Amino acid sequence: MLNRILSKDLPRSPWLAGLLVILFLGLAFAPFLFPGVKALNVAAKVLIFIALVASFDLLLGYTGIVSFAHTMFFGIGAYGVAISLGAAETPNWGSLAVGVLAALLVSLVLSLVIGLFSLRVKAIFFAMITLAVATAFLTLASQLSDITGGEDGLTFRVPEWLSPGFRLQEEPLQTPLGEVVLNGRFITYYLLFTVVCAIFLVLLRIVNSPFGRVLQAIRENDFRAEALGYRTVVYRTLSNVLSAAFATLAGCLLALWLRYNGPDTSLSFEIMLDILLIVVIGGMGTLYGAVIGSVLFVLAQSYLQDLLRWLGSVTEGLPLLPAIFTPDRWLLWLGLLFVLSVYHFPTGIVGRLRERAILARLKELQ
């Protein structure tokens, strides 16, 4: 049953399987295990990045396409929800659906145009074209104040059930894992969790289908794939469209969770760099890498300063160490952790764990 749900793409490593189970249970029960506001925000951000990075891995890891326009589609999803709900006198599920569908339609048209006109060029030129388009879209979002709110962004209300003030019951629910308040944030979190799980399973099905096998063939040698009769431009364009659609859905989830969207929130080039780092850390061409990489990166981004502050207090009085562990240098430590992860896991964490599992099986056979 599990094999069918995961599209016959099992982790293939006991360590990886155990790690994925722990992360899944941690995210599934995050409102119970981590009731604090910051912890729940971190868990929601992890979920959103899993969907966003997995959709990008469809392009980079499985098709071999380098695109810098991924955050543009992410931002389109966020702005679609923000504009639709912000324009509604009484936000409801209908206005939310309109915003999501409008964002998907815009992403479909843009990704199709970019794919048809740009994917015939060499990889580096396509990357530059997508970077130019994404930069132009960011500029438009910053300047069209009447529609997007400009640099200030848009703050909006969400349907009543998703509002933080909404209560399913007044008293907190007592559970074996602790008490939890059944409010709008609780419902929104599990909406995010359900949608992200669905996106991940659909992406697993896509990459393990005959269509996904052709994408991998194009990644390995597009000339041979073309010689076998596959229209590589068509397959690359479809991959671009699918990736954009899932990134748009991730943007919609971000807007729902934050109840705000602006250029720096969803269109920043820093988000694109974060996506690239997560793909490399987790492992390209392995959707499970999106899960591992997103969790590690978001946790480091959110708690590394707190860890350095604690280390600084512990080493207080010792020479040099408090200055090294100052929270202001968290980006330096984050960069060092990234370099170490690439050095020790050149194929990503998932790739490394799978390689170790294969070597262990070969030794058993010998």
Least confident of 195-199, 260-264, 301-305, 361-365: 361-365
pLDDT of 206 higher than 90: yes
Taking the C-alpha atoms of residue 97 and residue 292, their distance in angstroms, rounded to an integer, is 31
| Greater model confidence, 151 or 177 | 151
* pLDDT tier for residue 318 given thresholds of 50, 70 and 90: confident
Higher pLDDT, residue 89 or 293: 293
The C-alpha atoms of residue 131 and residue 314 are separated, in whole angstroms, by 44
Read off the pLDDT of residues 350-359 as tens digits, 9 standing for 90 and up. Answer: 988 888 888 8
User: How confident is residue 272, by pLDDT bands cut at 50, 70 and 90?
Assistant: very high
pLDDT (mean) for 49-68: 93
Query: How sure is the predictor about 181, in pLDDT bands with cuts at 50, 70 and 90?
Result: confident
Of the candidates 302, 290, 16, 259, which has an alpha carbon nearest to the alpha carbon of residue 156?
259
pLDDT digits (tens, 9 = 90+) for 207-216: 999 999 999 9
pLDDT at 292: 94
pLDDT in the model for residue 106: 95
| CATH architecture for residues 2-365 | Orthogonal Bundle (1.10)
With 80 as the cut, is the pLDDT of residue 365 above it? no
Give the mean pLDDT of 82-105: 93
* Mean pLDDT on 332-353: 84
Can you give the pLDDT at residue 37? Answer: 85
Share the mean pLDDT of the chain: 89
Residue 5: predicted pLDDT:
81
Q: Is the pLDDT of residue 322 over 80?
A: no
Residue 143 pLDDT greater than 70, yes or no: yes
Distance between CA 181 and CA 151 in Å, rounded? 34
User: Is the pLDDT assigned to residue 303 strictly greater than 80?
Assistant: yes
Band of pLDDT at residue 7, cut at 50, 70 and 90: confident
Most confident option among 194-203, 305-314, 355-364: 194-203
Q: What is the pTM of this model?
A: 0.94
Helices 269-282 and 123-143: crossing angle, nearest 10°?
140
Dist CA 254 CA 256 (whole Å): 5
Helices assigned H by DSSP within the chain: 2-5, 14-28, 30-33, 37-63, 70-87, 93-118, 123-143, 145-148, 184-207, 210-220, 222-227, 232-258, 263-266, 269-282, 287-314, 321-324, 330-344, 348-365
Q: What residues contact 38, with CB distance under 8 A and at least 6 apart?
A: 302
